[in-house]
Structure formats: C-alpha cells, structure tokens
Amino acid sequence: MKICGVEISGNDAIVSLLSLSDGVFTILDCRVAKVSIGDANDTQKMKDFQFSFGKLMQDYQIEKVVIRQRQTKGKFAGGAVGFKLEAAIQLIEGISVDVVPATEIKEQLKRNPLAVPFKETGLKQYQEQAFLVAYACVMNSNG
C-alpha cells in the first residue's frame, strides 16, 4: 500500500510518501516535497495545481491520500487558500482521499510510536506533519 500524507500550509500542499509491504515501512523518495500554488484566485492556477498534484500521485502509484485536518474556526483556523487546495485535492478523479483529525493521529501515535526519531527519517523538518498523518493512516488500516 502506498500512501501520501499531506499537510496544507499557506499556499503549499506538503507531501510525504510512505509504503507498507509485508509489515515493512518504506519512506519513498519523491521529486518534490511540496506542491505550491501562486495565486489561488486564478482559476487556471487552481487547475494547474490540481493537475500537478494528481500527476504526482499517478507517477508514484499512490493508492490513498490522507490530509491532516485543520480547524475551521478559532485562533488556529486554516486559511481560505488552504481549504481551496484541500478541495482541489479531494476532487481529483481516481484518487481516494481522507481528511484525518489531529486527535486520531495522536491516538495512533500513542498506540504505535515511531520506531526511529523523525530526524533520522531523512525527510525535511517541515514534512513531519505530512509524514505523521501518513504513518497514522497506515497504522490504523494495518492494526
């Protein structure tokens, strides 16, 4: 199973690719760590973002995309652009997309702690939340 964890931050969809085969996790190398959009108010730029993200998933044969859920209200609420990017990802044909609440991620990490510290994964620090949502999803479907 190949999964793409996504954290949306500003104008970026930060990605981390993870596979599970015969109980062994592999962090997949990816040509990009994030897919960005310049002007989210430009319809063509939104279509380009959606196409780029979909092509990335197709190229790496990703079976499932999991997006870290963001708050809709309050001090830590996500911005409008982020929700547009989330919707663009969810509407890509042929890709299974789930939005996972932070509480579910924490619960899975409590039950299934990481075997190695995140710093030893070789990923960039800003990819940590994307990696954790992918890891939690794999652990949830595996256990």
DSSP output for 105-116 = HHHHHHHS--SS
pLDDT, tens only, 46-93: 999 999 999 999 999 999 999 999 877 777 676 788 899 999 999 999
Do 111 and 135 meet the contact criterion of CB atoms below 8 Å apart? no
pLDDT, tens only, 19-31: 988 878 899 999 9
Domains detected in the chain: 2-142 (3.30.420.10)
**Cα separations (Å) of 59 from 17, 32, 123, 128?**
12, 12, 20, 22
pTM for the whole thing? 0.90
Question: Is residue 143 pLDDT above 60, yes or no?
Answer: no
Q: Which amino acid is located at 79 in the chain?
A: G
Helical (H) or strand (E) element with 35: strand 34-36
pLDDT, tens only, 83-130: 999 999 999 999 999 999 989 999 989 998 888 888 988 999 999 999
